[in-house]
Amino acid sequence: MKILYFVTSNKGKYIEAEEKLREIKNIKLEQKRIDYPEIQADTLEEVVEYGIEYLKKKLKKPFILEDAGLFIEHLNGFPGVYSAYVFKTIGCKGILSLLDDMEERNAYFKSVIGFYDPRTNEKKIFKGISKGEISFEMRGTQGFGYDPIFIPEGESRTFGEMETKEKNRYSHRGKSFEKLASFFKKLKIENFKV
Ligand code: ITT
């Protein structure tokens, strides 16, 4: 069994990722709480690239990190790369107030995963997007972050009203981790040296 570190402070992310990678029998995902600088940048990709460069000097085993954000069309993509700060300051209620009773509520979540293997210097980026809309009120107690106000396309429930497995079927993270899982399936496990 090979260990793959997931560097994140967010237990909810780890639970969702673990559900997606569980079928890869030879890999065990392990949450690692190490602070890394989340730089102020224009894209999630830049945040992830910087995080890899910082962490590769500290970790001796293969690792992943992930940056995600909520992009609201009517607010020109806000909070986007500022999603964590905005969540800490105004939260879901603040977002609902900004949108007021606006009918135009399209939004999407994006997830960017960075994978790095220090033994081979291999670096990979995997992305996933989930389109949907912002609800008119908070609904549900499952998940984390903006889940109670995001309704994915083709659903009437928010992510906050879904079990992990169901959220993963629609979510940005479900999609990016699906790509990571396919990458591991193709990679001969003997070559995944740890
Ligand atoms: P890390 O330690 O992995 O960085 P984080 O919670 O700070 O954990 P991000 O910076 O990637 O994660 O997330 C930015 C914000 O978006 C943060 O407030 C999250 O709660 C929120 N968010 C990310 N993914 C989400 C999801 O699937 N559902 C709801 N909110 C999400």
* CATH number, domain with residue 20: 3.90.950.10
Pairwise CA distance, residues 155 & 162, whole Å: 11
Provide the pairing of β-strand 2-7 with 27-32: parallel
Average pLDDT, the chain: 94
C-alpha pair distances (Å), 125 with each of 98, 153, 176: 33, 25, 9
Residue 98: pLDDT band by 50, 70, 90 thresholds?
Answer: very high
Sign of CA dihedral 172, 163, 149, 32: negative
**pTM greater than 0.85:** yes
Do residues 120 and 193 lie in contact, with contact meaning Cβ atoms separated by under 8 Å? Answer: yes
Output the CA torsion 4→32→144→127 (10° steps): -40
As a residue count, the chain comes to: 194
Is 117 one of the annotated active-site residues of the chain?
Answer: no
Residue 37: pLDDT band by 50, 70, 90 thresholds?
Answer: confident
Among candidate residues 145, 68, 56, 186, the one with its CA nearest the CA of residue 178: 186
Mutate to test the pocket of ligand 1, among 7, 8, 13 (most ligand atoms within 8 A of CB): 13
pLDDT digits 0-9 by tens, 113-142:
999 999 899 999 999 999 999 999 999 999
Q: Does any ligand 1 atom lie closer than 6 A to the CB of residue 69?
A: yes
Domain that holds residue 109: 2-191
How many domains is the chain partitioned into structurally?
A: 1
